[in-house]
Structure formats: C-alpha cells, structure tokens
Amino acid sequence: MHVVIRADGGPEIGYGHLVRTGALASKLLDRGHLVTYATTTPEHVQEVCPDDVEMETILSRDDPEPVREFVRGHADVTLLDSYLADGKYQERLREVVPLVVVADDTRHRIAADVLVNGNLYAPELKYDVIGAEPEWCLGPEYLLLRPSITKYATRDPPWRETPMRAIVTMGGSDIAGLTPTVIRAFDGFDLRVDAIVGPGFSEKQEASIKRAANEVSVDVRVVRDPENLPKRMFQADFAVTTASTTTYELLALGTPIVNLPVIDNQALIASALREHNAATVLDKTADETEFGEAIEEYVTDSSLRRTRHEIGRNLIDGRGTNRVYREVLSAGDANSKL
C-alpha cells in the first residue's frame, strides 16, 4: 500500500504535525508499506520523520490541486494533517482516494473517510460533516505516539521519593521563548535539569538559554535535539512543557508535568489537563515566580507526583498508533475492492 501524507512543520508553525504523522509513517514503513510526504517543508520532514519516507515538494499550503494530482497517480490512501486544509480542500482529495484526516479541533468542516483526533477533549467536540460520516477515531486511544515513546510507555519509570532530575522541553521551536525564564525558576533547587533545545531553536535562543543556565545555582544541562529525548523524559521526576504534542508523550511516560498553553490552539489541551487533574497548569502569562511555585510543589509533595504519574498512564495507553494504522489499512483495502 502507498500512503501519501500531506503535512508540514518547522520553527514558525511547530513540529507537531510532523511528529505525530511520523509516528504512523514509522508503523507503515515497518510493515512494508510505502510512504510519501507531500509537503512545503521537505527539510523539516527530513529532520523529524523516518529516514525511509519519500518526498514530493509542493509550493502551496492551501491549494489542494497539486496534491490531488500527485495522489491520483500514486496513493492508495491520503493522510491529511494541516490546519489550512478546510472542508473544500478535503473534498477535493477525497474524490481521488480514501482520505484520513488528523484534526485537533472543529475549525473546519470534515470531509473524510476516517477522522482521527487523539486529544483528551476530542469526544466532546461537535463536528460538522460534509457527506457521509467518517469512521470516528476520537480520544487518547487514537493518539499517535512515536515508537521511541511507546517503548518507554510500557516500562515502570524510576521512582524517587525526593526528586533528583527534571526536564524543560518547550517544543520544537519554543515559540514563546520561555525556556530561559523556566531555567531561572529552578534557581536554588537541588536538581539536575535537562534544558532541551529543539530542532527549530535559533542560535540566538540557544545562546540565551545557555546564559540563563550559567546564572543559576542548579545543575542545568543544555542539550540540542538529543536522540535520547524520550529516555530523558522517562527518567525525569517531573517536566516543564507547553500544552503541545510533548504533553501527551509525557503523560504516556507517566512523567508529572508543569504545563501551560502558549498559543490559542493549546487552550483546549490545558483545559482538559485541568479537568483530569493530569498536570499543574499555569496561565499563558505565567512568570518566573509562578513557575518556581509549581516546581516547589513537585519537589516537596511526592504524593502529588505519584498521583500525576498514575493519572497520565491511565489516560494514555500508548497503543493509539496501532489503532490508527488498522483504520488506514481498512480504508485502503476498501478502496482496492471498488
């Protein structure tokens, strides 16, 4: 089977679309299928997605016609993960081969054979459907997680009554530039802190993070895009992150979280975390003092960390990619019988 994935990512728009579609691409490739990305950001697909994917570079994010023409001659199934692809865009692709849409919200009408929304809040949303209803894959049981995360999600993380390690990972590009503020909030705590510099961080951002690390007494290790990031997240006693894809990875690992939304479309995740008591959620305007108070709470309250560990593991079972993979195969098989 040949699956064409329409997705983009990078420092300006974030890497979440590539991370989660890359998880499915890995599964497809492992099972012998062909995967091609139709993308405006081929250089970032190379950074984030599996090495064996092929690429078709397109020039427009909101014009479906080049993708439609490529899909017509190549794909058995199209997977679409883009905030710019509205209902009309989806309809054009669906006319050619079965369409699987990955969505986070209801900003667009849905014209798909399968709709995947792995967010905690997904089942509660009201979807406006064009034509026949899709197969509904809603909620964290359909969450797309990287193989490197699911490997650790099946293991019991190290438990320390007194925390020793923390991690700061503010996404692939830290759009809000909060990493230095968070590092300064750790000043005075007896911890080792991994401060992650994502693939989309600028040299200026990295220099600012290193300056902050040198200003504090805590042991801060500044690391750029480490290959062992899942292991670092798994080994941490708690994490500070944005309300993004990384949040779900940390929940699956059972790592307690200090969390905040930094852009509007992260507000639903933050609200769901509060509802489930799954993280310490701060407002997007949080300052160094508020981060410090949230850090101190985890350092001094082991029962809270234990509770958050259990809630995260109960919410995310780590098998969502397998379930979505089966739906993609089913859509392709149905098309082949027409």
Per-residue confidence (pLDDT) for residue 47, from 0 to 100: 92
**Which residues touch 97 (CB under 8 Å, ≥6 apart)?**
71, 72, 75, 76, 77, 78, 335
Give pLDDT tens digits for 163-178: 999 999 998 889 899 9
Task: Tell me the pTM.
Answer: 0.92
Q: Given 3-state DSSP classes, what are the helix, strand and coil percentages for the chain, each rounded to the nearest 5?
A: 45, 20, 40
The answer on pLDDT for 338 being more than 80 is no
Q: Residue 71 and residue 202: Cα distance in Å, rounded?
A: 35
pLDDT in tens, 177-214: 999 999 999 999 999 999 999 988 999 999 999 999 99
Report the chain's terminal Cα–Cα distance, integer Å: 15
Is the model's pLDDT at 260 over the cut of 80?
yes
Model confidence band, residue 109 (pLDDT cutoffs 50, 70, 90): very high
DSSP 132: S
Three-state DSSP state, 273: helix
Domains of the chain plus CATH, in order, are 2-144+318-336 (3.40.50.11190), 148-315 (3.40.50.2000)
Across 15-28, average pLDDT: 96
Contacts of 51 (CB under 8 A, 6+ apart): none
